[in-house]
Amino acid sequence: MTISWTGLAVSLVLVVVAAGISLAWRLGLERSIVWAAARALVQLLIVGGILVLLLAPGVSLWWSWLWVAAMLAYAAYTARQRAPSIPGLLPVAGLAFLAAGAVCLLVLFGLGVFPLTSRTLVPMAGLIVGNAMTSTVLAGRRLQEEFADKRGEIEARLALGQSGRDAARPYLRGVLRSALSPQIETTKATGLVFLPGAMTGLILAGVPPVQAVLVQAVVMFLVLAAAATTTSVVALGLVRRLFTPDDRLLALSRART
């Protein structure tokens, strides 16, 4: 199945529908909807052009690895921009993305789930980074909110002689549960409640349904592992930055959305 430029243009009617609903309800999101759609389209076209070059015969795999490194760096910067009030998020986000990428790519390619080629490396890395960025921002905001709300309890633990890490540990569990729960619920609902994008795209492209299901299952497992790895690294990394060297909790406000 192929989509013509005319078909793409016609599909913009759906963006008009979304903007129209916002206008009807006076949500004030019309410009944001149009801008988001336009930006996504431009970014996808740019990425599509780059992929044409990366997937051309004879192009070294190292160019794909370079593209993956650029994705990791830009994702860390974007996560920092989305949650500017969270102290020390940029280096922690970079480390979280690197850890999630290392774990997932090692399993996928090291154990032979997919062959290591530009056609598999770049899309898989993109899935990892995209979901890791969402988990990073969510975990960071939840951690900041939890520590701001429970400041009195944490300081009481510190007054009893606990280290910053020990005083924070009971609250980290709640942060991790909150950050991971959306992805867990999405994984539970996959197949029965909704058909994910990867599976739908493969079926529309003519891939046999069973093969599409197998690919989608691998993708869901990848996303779940990426989210779990990312939230763990973010929670542990940010905790070290929310306390001074002498175990005093920094002044925190609730995260701005």
184 and 152 co-located in one domain? yes
224 falls within a domain: yes
Alpha helical stretches, state H, the chain: 5-24, 30-54, 61-82, 89-105, 118-149, 151-159, 164-189, 197-204, 209-241
Q: In the prediction, which pLDDT does 1 show? A: 67
Mean pLDDT, residues 83-98: 89
Neighbours of 175 (CB within 10 A): 25
Confidence of residue 239 (pLDDT cuts 50, 70, 90): confident
143 and 228 co-located in one domain? yes
User: What single-letter DSSP state applies at residue 112?
Assistant: T
48 and 93 co-located in one domain? no
The range of the structural domain enclosing residue 47 comes to 1-54
What gap in Å lies between CA 220 and CA 225, rounded to an integer? 9
Give the residue, 254 or 229, on which the prediction is more confident: 229
Q: Residue length, the chain?
A: 257
171 falls within a domain: yes
Q: Into how many domains does the chain fold?
A: 2
38 and 65 co-located in one domain? no
256 falls within a domain: no
The two three-digit tokens of residue 224, written as one number? 């779940």
235 and 139 in contact (C-beta within 8 Å)? Answer: yes
Q: In the prediction, which pLDDT does 134 show? A: 85
